[in-house]
C-alpha cells in the first residue's frame, strides 16, 4: 500500500475521483464513506484509498507529497491543496458541461456553452488516434480558439446571469 502510494504521488500528473460507499456499523446501521481513485495515466498505475467520510483530510493526506497537475472534479476539498501552489488544478469538461445542461431548463443562454463544449469534444474525438504531436497541433489549431470563445461567453454571461441561478452557478 505505502509503496504504491509513493509511486503514484511521485508522478507529475494524476487523475482523481471519488465515489460513495456504504460502511456497515458493527452495532447495525450504516454510514457513507468514500473510495478515492488516484490514476497515473502516463505510468499506467492506479491506487484506491478508502476514507470513512467525504472530508478533505483524506485527499490531503494521500496527496501530501504530490507536486504536479491534478485532474479532478470541482470538489471544494481540493481547494486547500491548490492554494499551496504545489498542485495545479486541471478541471473536468464533463462536470462543467453538466452544469450548463442543467441550466438549460431555466435559461436558454446555456445552449451556446453546451454547443461550444461539444465542439471541444469533437476535436478530441478527431485526435483520439493521432500521435501526441499531431494531437497537440490539432488542439492548437481548433481548441485554443474554442477555449477563447468559451471564456468570452462565460464572462458575458457572468455580467447578466443571476449568481444564484443555475446558469450563474
Contacts for 9 with CB less than 8 Å, ≥ 6 apart: 38, 62, 63, 64, 65, 66
| Helix, strand or coil, per DSSP, at residue 130 | coil
SS3 content of the chain, % helix, strand, coil (to 5): 45, 20, 30
Q: What is the mean pLDDT of residues 57-76?
A: 92
Task: Say whether pLDDT at 1 is over 80.
Answer: no
Residue 151 pLDDT > 90: yes
% of the chain surpassing 90 pLDDT: 75
> What is the pLDDT at residue 53?
85
Mean pLDDT, range 37-59, rounded to an integer: 92
98-116: average pLDDT = 93
Name residue, grid cell 483524506: 58
In this predicted structure, the answer to whether residue 116 has a pLDDT above a threshold of 80 is yes
Residue pair 9/63 in contact by the 8 Å Cβ criterion = yes
Q: Please check whether residue 83 is in contact with residue 27, taking contact to mean a CB–CB distance below 8 angstroms.
A: no
| pLDDT reported for residue 120 | 95
Q: State the pLDDT confidence band at 22, using cuts at 50, 70 and 90.
A: very high
Amino acid at each position: 500500500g505505502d509503496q504504491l502510494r509513493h509511486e503514484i504521488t511521485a508522478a507529475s500528473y494524476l487523475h482523481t475521483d471519488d465515489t460513495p460507499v456504504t460502511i456497515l456499523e458493527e452495532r447495525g446501521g450504516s454510514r457513507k464513506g468514500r473510495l478515492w481513485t488516484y490514476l497515473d495515466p502516463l505510468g499506467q498505475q492506479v491506487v484506491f484509498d478508502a476514507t470513512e467520510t467525504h472530508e478533505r483530510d483524506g485527499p490531503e493526506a494521500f496527496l501530501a507529497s504530490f507536486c504536479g497537475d491534478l485532474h479532478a472534479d470541482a470538489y471544494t476539498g481540493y481547494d486547500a491543496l491548490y492554494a499551496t501552489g504545489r498542485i495545479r488544478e486541471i478541471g473536468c469538461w464533463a462536470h462543467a458541461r453538466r452544469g450548463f445542461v442543467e441550466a438549460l431548463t431555466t435559461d436558454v443562454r446555456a445552449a451556446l456553452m453546451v454547443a461550444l463544449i461539444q465542439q471541444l469534444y469533437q476535436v478530441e474525438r478527431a485526435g483520439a488516434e493521432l500521435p501526441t504531436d499531431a494531437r497537440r497541433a490539432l488542439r492548437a489549431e481548433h481548441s485554443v480558439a474554442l477555449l477563447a470563445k468559451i471564456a468570452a461567453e462565460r464572462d458575458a454571461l457572468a455580467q447578466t446571469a443571476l449568481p444564484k441561478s443555475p446558469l450563474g452557478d
